[in-house]
Structure 1
Amino acid sequence: MEPSNPTNAPDVDANADTLMVDAPAADTQDGSRSTQDTKKRRRKEKETHTLHQTTFRKPAWSYFHLILVTPGTAVQQPSNSTASLETHSIDALTVSALLSQPLTAYLGATGSAIPIDILHTHSRSAYIRIPRQDAQAFQAALSGWIGGCDAGSVPGVEEGGGRVRVAWRFVSKGGSLGLLRGGGDEVFGTSEVAY
């Protein structure tokens, strides 16, 4: 005698797989949710929001840190201790005059037309800015120049009167003011500048 089927379901072989309609759908749904969540997480991790990004490939300005040297100071390395002992700094007018002489001698009228911005002077140091396209000519003009100046205009020179021979030494050159030395605090000073 055959066993009775109380649910009136069709007879199914006992060895055959049973079809479970709800179980696979739940697994697929949970499985798809977890893969979608990981895809969303990956997408969020990879996405960054950048408002604007740029690289200055050709900066408009070149910055120089120069030191005025005399025959007595030409062999000495610049140090902070000697700079702090000197009481006064070279003024911007003297720096301008001492920069225009070699430019005019080396490049003529073209050299005298190069705009020079004197950003800061301290002791014998000068921080200047010139257009980038004139930087090589500027460096060439100053590298071989030896000139003269009143002894009273140069810090650290005994004021015996007369003239003293001077030249410019390049300390650093850069496309940004902060690249010359440190963060630029020594140029403008942190306590003297009010923002």
Structure 2
Amino acid sequence: MVKYFSIFILYILSFFSMHAQTRDSIAGEYYLQGVMETASGFQLLPDSSFQFFYSYGAVDRYGSGKWSLQNGHVILNSKKKPESDFTLVKTRSTKNPNVTIKINHPNSNILGHFECTVISDKKLRQLQTNPGGIAVFPLQKVDSIYLLFQFCPDRYSSFAVPDNKNYFEFKLEPSIAEVFFEEFILSLTDSGLSGGHPLLQGGGYRYVKNN
């Protein structure tokens, strides 16, 4: 009986040792290949956490979370995406004969890169902010506002607005640059990983491991 118990314990220890070695061997840095002018990749850490980065021109995005291994696939998950990447910080009624939307951010270089959409009586009107972060629409009753930062086109934020207001001031939250993952699957290959990309269309992307 003692002999069989000892064999069982050795088997269990061997199983967990193999599991740890597999996880440790997968851990590392994986870089996107074959996409011009784009730097992107994943860092899988032995503690099952990961870091993601993406850089294209003036756009830098990042993400983080936990990874797991299932049947030859790496599965990525992160915290829940916030409901909005903007905060409505001020709204009021003014005597100005227009509807004004203003975006606040300490980096003045990005203030001219927001798309503002107002919906009024089921009609849609869209403007881009000027270099000061302001978009001015003709006076109308606004039912809702949609905001988009052009450097992060995957992230629309929408707001239902109070009645009889024609001035709206928003703050851009740091979460706009963060990329969130939910059951994002990559396949293990001889050279690294393959699969989709959280910010690029299509699939079949290759991520080569940096040995």
Q: What TM-score comes out, normalization by structure 1 length?
A: 0.28
Instruction: Choose 1 or 2 for highest CA Rg.
Output: 1
Point out the structure with the larger helix share: 1
| TM, length-normalised to structure 2 | 0.27
Higher strand share: 2
- Structure number with greater CO (CA < 8 Å, separation at least 6) is 1
